[in-house]
Amino acid sequence: DQQVKQNSPSLSVQEGRISILNCDYTNSMFDYFLWYKKYPAEGPTFLISISSIKDKNEDGRFTVFLNKSAKHLSLHIVPSQPGDSAVYFCAASKGNTGNQFYFGTGTSLTVIP
Amino acid sequence: DTEVTQTPKHLVMGMTNKKSLKCEQHMGHRAMYWYKQKAKKPPELMFVYSYEKLSINESVPSRFSPECPNSSLLNLHLHALQPEDSALYLCASSQGDGRGYEQYFGPGTRLTVT
C-alpha cells in the first residue's frame, strides 16, 4: 500500500515559469518530509525538507509547502530552468523511525527552453 | 567529498550465481542503507545499518545478505536470486540515524537476473 503518492507522472513547464509538483500522503504519523531530485544514471539528490511544525520552507528558487490537514505537500520551483529537468521524488518519515523514508513514485519534470 | 560510490554499475547474474554489490562513502556518515527500485516505482528500503550494526531489515528474503565491514563500507551479498529481483539497487548514507539527516545516494547498481 503506497503511503506517499505523486499522482502526476510528468509535468512540462516553460523556462522562467513556475513549476508546481504535488505529493499526497496517507499516514498521519508522518512528520518530516523531503524532496529529492534524480537525473538519469545518478542516484537521488536531496533538495529540500520540511518538518511538520512548519507549513513552508524556502531555499533559493525552491519552496516546499505543507498542508497537514489535507495531508498534502507541494514543491514550487520559480523561475524554472532547463537544468531543473529531472525526476522529483517526495519522501516522508515518522518520528520514531526517523531515517526510514517512504518515497512517492516520482514526477518527471521537463522545463522547455 | 560528498559522494557515495557503488560498484559495479551493471551486473548480470544467473539464478545459481553468488555475487556482491559494494557501496563506499568517506563522509564520516554513521548510517548506511540499501534500497531496491523497480521501474516506475519508488525506492523501497531494504536494510539500515547504524553505527555498523543492522538496525532495520524490512523483511527482505535471505537470498539478500547485507554486511557492513566498517563505517565506510556496505556490501550486499546475493545468492540464488530470482528474475523478479532484477532492479536498481541504491545505496545511501546519512550523518546520523535520527530524523533530520538527509540521505546521500549513490548512482546505483543495475542488476539483471537471468
Test A43 with B31 for CB contact under 8 angstroms.
Answer: no
Q: By the 8 A CB rule, do A19 and A25 touch?
A: no
Tell me: the pLDDT tens digits for A46-100?
A: 999 999 999 999 999 999 999 999 999 999 999 999 999 999 999 998 876 667 8
Report the pLDDT value the prediction gives residue A82, as an integer from 0 to 100: 97
Q: Which of B102, B104, B109 to mutate to test the interface with A (most CBs of A within 10 A)?
A: B102
Report the pLDDT value the prediction gives residue B1, as an integer from 0 to 100: 60
Test A46 with B102 for CB contact under 8 angstroms.
Answer: yes
Test B92 with A43 for CB contact under 8 angstroms.
Answer: yes
What is the pLDDT of chain B when averaged over all its residues?
A: 92
DSSP A62-105: EEEEEETTTTEEEEEESS--GGG-EEEEEEEEEGGGTT--EE--
Report the pLDDT value the prediction gives residue A98, as an integer from 0 to 100: 63
Minimal Cβ distance to A42: which of B43, B101, B107? B107
A108 touching chain B per CB within 8 A? no
Report the pLDDT value the prediction gives residue A33, as an integer from 0 to 100: 94
Report the pLDDT value the prediction gives residue A97, as an integer from 0 to 100: 65
Q: By the 8 A CB rule, do B32 and B49 touch?
A: yes
How many Å apart are CA B44 and CA A5, to the nearest integer? 14
Lowest mean pLDDT among B22-26, B50-54, B56-60: B56-60
- Report the residue of chain A nearest B98, measured CA to CA: A98
Test B40 with A42 for CB contact under 8 angstroms.
Answer: no
Residue B80: band (very low, low, confident or very high) from pLDDT cuts 50, 70, 90: very high
| Inter-chain CB pairs, A–B, below 8 Å | 63
Tell me: the pLDDT tens digits for A16-53?
A: 999 999 999 999 999 999 999 999 878 899 999 999 99
